[in-house]
Amino acid sequence: MDKSANNMRIAVLSGKGGTGKTLIAVNLAVAAKDSTYIDCDVEEPNGHLFLKPEVVQEEEITVKIPAVDEQLCMGCRTCTYFCRFNALAYINDKLKIFADVCHCCGGCVLLCPVEALSDIDKVIGKIQKGAKDNINVNTGILDFGVESGVPIIKKLLSEYVPDSKDLTLIDCPPGSACIVMESIKDVDYCILVAEPTVFGVHNLNMVYELVKLFDKPHGVVLNKCLEGENPAEKFCIEKGIKILGRIPFDHELGTINSNARIAVRESEGYQKLFAGLLQKVTEEVHQHEAVTHPQR
């Protein structure tokens, strides 16, 4: 599939929260003018605060958990022995199910010899579909107390990426756990956002290891750049990681951002910076395509 003529998927990720993932994803979405922004940071989605979409559709996301018919259960405990997360216990001749511990594998329902267990839906959150100014904004929202947002991200990336747009920006959750893996596994390119501190380097290394493991083309945006030495920049040079751009530690940018406004729309300088970054990432993706599909 030729990505240049189709939907190019770019993920923005970082090893910790607050590095500037949303800042970059939102500004790139606006710089592209015609794009889709997907908020996979389902525990704290905040891209919508900047893009202010009109929500046109809301879908509840459910997972399957077991329910027991006590009339049928004969207390054989096949299910309790099977469950590696111990989501079922058998007490006083009654099966007790711990829905919060269940990982929704469905094994207990399959194995029950008397069909006393069945699947029921449990709501874990929702997806809001919206748009504003030619930008589609689709947001995953995980309910409080729910262990994993992975099912919401699966749904977002399989059903909420419209073919009508050339570019999709995926705002990832922080870190490098399962939920981030799910967010990046089908993307064409990963933008890693890094802070200019020793701690920032540690976090950058986490996501750097992840994108290498997934064999994803990637580059780094150095955010909050100050005068003097930048440990994250040094790390990139040492490891031979492409530096895509630098965003200064700037009072004006901080003010715009903290008022939930978008720098690309407010400042000519930032319009140029993010348009340049977008251009660079697009070139990187095409270059990678040319390398992996030389026949094109």
101 binds other proteins (CB under 8 A): yes
Sign of dihedral through CA atoms 225, 226, 228, 231?
negative
Tell the smallest beta-carbon distance from residue 112 to other proteins (Å): 18
- The strand pairing partners of 213, in sequence order, are none
Both tokens of 206, joined, read 């986490």
**Angle subtended at Cα 195 by Cα 52 and Cα 198, rounded to the nearest 5 degrees:** 155
Q: Which residue lies nearer to other proteins by CB, 145 or 228? A: 145
Six-digit token string for 2: 């030729």
Contact 178, 148 (CB under 8 A): yes
Residue 40 or 73 having the CB closest to other proteins: 73
- Of 21-29, 44-52, 87-95, 250-258, which segment contacts other proteins by CB under 8 A? 87-95
Token readout for 77 is 């405990």
Q: Which residues contact 233 (CB under 8 A, 6 or more apart)?
A: 196, 222, 243
C-alpha span between 262 and 211 (Å, rounded): 28
Min dist. Cβ of residue 80 to other proteins (A): 7
Residue with token string 């570019």? 167
Query: DSSP 3-state assignment of 104?
Result: coil
Interaction residues for other proteins, span 56-85 (CB under 8 A): 80, 83-85
Give me the least distance between CB of 175 and other proteins, in Å please.
Answer: 18
Contact status: 90 vs other proteins (CB under 8 A): yes
Least Å from the CB of residue 116 to other proteins:
18
Q: In whole angstroms, what is the distance from residue 220 CA to residue 242 CA?
A: 6
Q: Does 177 bind other proteins (CB under 8 A)?
A: no
Residue span binding other proteins (CB under 8 A) among the ranges 59-67, 93-101, 127-135, 185-193 = 93-101
Which stretch, 24-32, 58-66, 95-103, 244-252, contacts other proteins (CB under 8 A)? 95-103
89 binds other proteins, rule: CB under 8 A: yes
Nearer to other proteins, 75 or 269 (CB): 75
- Positions touching other proteins (CB under 8 A) are 80, 83-87, 89-92, 94, 96, 98, 100-101, 103
